[in-house]
Structure 1
């Protein structure tokens, strides 16, 4: 488990536009904690912030720096340091079998096919999924696909692991297993989640609302405020519908 508390990512006066819509304007953040949760209502900018950390989205103004790499200048280098588990596993999986999906990253990093397959089989065995190796990914449940995506990213030992609402579609056993995997990971983790219980023991929570930071601090301080805000918004929607 990493004890390094130096910043791994910096957002310096970042403005991000998607078409005519301004997602962030002048956003500045310093990220250093090992596990950071992002919360907020739909459309608040959470997923966009994640995608800026791996270079999938680039700032219009300002700068994003991850492990000393500028996301604009060093965009192609970021995948060696940053892995991401997407909300929809079908947007991430590209190979027909579980073994091929897991062995892809080690092969990209220079491992032979035999060594990459051995790493993948060992990882599956350590996660109680040894019999999944030859299984077609199309026959997996949504929760099983999500776990395979996590393992496929983790096998490359990224310095930073990004998770975009990873608990969607997971049953209770897989959710608990996923959470334990995240807790044991030596990587820094930034996770978007609507499951407040799953992120309650993270070191930091950042609440975004319409691209602005509404609260930033310990989850025990931030999450109750966010829950109260969401409850108030729900009451307003209910009243409007009556």
Structure 2
């Protein structure tokens, strides 16, 4: 039976997420076959074509999908009231945000603390004020731009105090100032961050990048090296496509 454990894969990897021999099938399609990965580095990028399995990998780590076989390992919680180890930002913020105001949405990330509604509201407002965003607390989500909604999703991850943040195409709906701000905040965040993106410049400097190709790991190594390999492969495929026309 597929299982999600909160114990480490091997001794000494207490703070690592790992997948062991994971098989994931959707309909008649195998998304992953015997996929094994460990995620130890502070900054990890995921790259690859559409349909390569990047979002599916995130959903497995979060427990939103369950494999047909194999295991997903998460580190054990430090206490009963600790935040979930993993937090995820979806590609589309409208699929993630469920409450009508910013402060209510951020308060959802504090549910593990078992605060009263008033306590959670105070915590959120104080936290936003420390970031210079006190006026955001009562704002209606419907009044925000798509980029601002994406920023709310990012704030929800930060206030939730997760150990690992999964960001699925986090720059897609951001303008250049928004991208610059997110990059700065990501660089300053103490959490482990795993980023799925088609914009290679956002992960080229990462210590590790994984190139997924139809559910398999095509390359895994330093960001600059793996991004260059992927770019070369894309250029080769594009040239072949042109030659066929």
Q: Return 5+ residue gaps in structure 2 as ranges.
A: 1-11
Give the whole-Å Cα distance in 2 for the aligned partners of 1:139 and 1:118.
Answer: 22
Once residues 133 and 199 of structure 2 are traced to their aligned partners in structure 1, the CA distance between those partners, rounded to angstroms, is 25
2:17 maps to 9
Going from structure 1 to structure 2, the CA distance change for 1:79 and 1:115 (only over 3 Å counts) comes to: closer
- Aligned with residue 218 of structure 2, among 214, 220, 231: 214
- How many residue pairs align between the two structures? 231
Distance 1:78 1:14 in 2: 27
Q: Secondary structure at the match of 1:28?
A: strand
Alpha-carbon distance change, 59 to 112 in structure 1, aligned in 2, over 3 angstroms: same
Partner of 2:27: 19
- Greater mean alpha carbon deviation, residues 226-235 or residues 118-127: 118-127
Taking the TM superposition and a 5 Å limit, the aligned residue runs for 1:37-186 are 37-68=45-76, 80-186=84-190
**3-state SS in 1 of match to 2:110:** helix
Task: Name the SS of the counterpart of 2:63 in structure 1.
Answer: coil
Taking the aligned partners of 2:174 and 2:35, their CA distance within structure 1 comes to 33
What SS does structure 2 have at the residue aligned with 1:80? Answer: coil
The answer to whether the 8 A contact 1:44-1:208 is kept is yes
Q: Is the 8 A contact 2:54 2:212 kept in 1?
A: yes
Unaligned runs of 5+ in 1: 70-76
Question: Judging changes above 3 Å, is the alpha-carbon distance between structure 1 residues 191 and 140 closer, same or farther for their aligned structure 2 residues?
Answer: same
Matched, 1:190 2:194: yes
CA contact (8 A) 1:7 1:30 kept: no
1:30 equivalent in structure 2:
38
State the shift of 1:126 in Å.
4.0
Secondary structure, aligned partner of 2:166: strand
How far, CA to CA, are the matches of 2:108 and 2:33 in structure 1? 37
How far residue 13 of structure 1 moved from its aligned partner, in angstroms, is 1.1
Cα distance change on mapping 1:93 and 1:130 into 2, 3 Å: same
CA change 1:35–1:175 in 2 (3 A) is same
Which of 111-120 and 46-55 deviates more? 111-120
Using the size of structure 1 for normalisation, the TM-score is 0.88
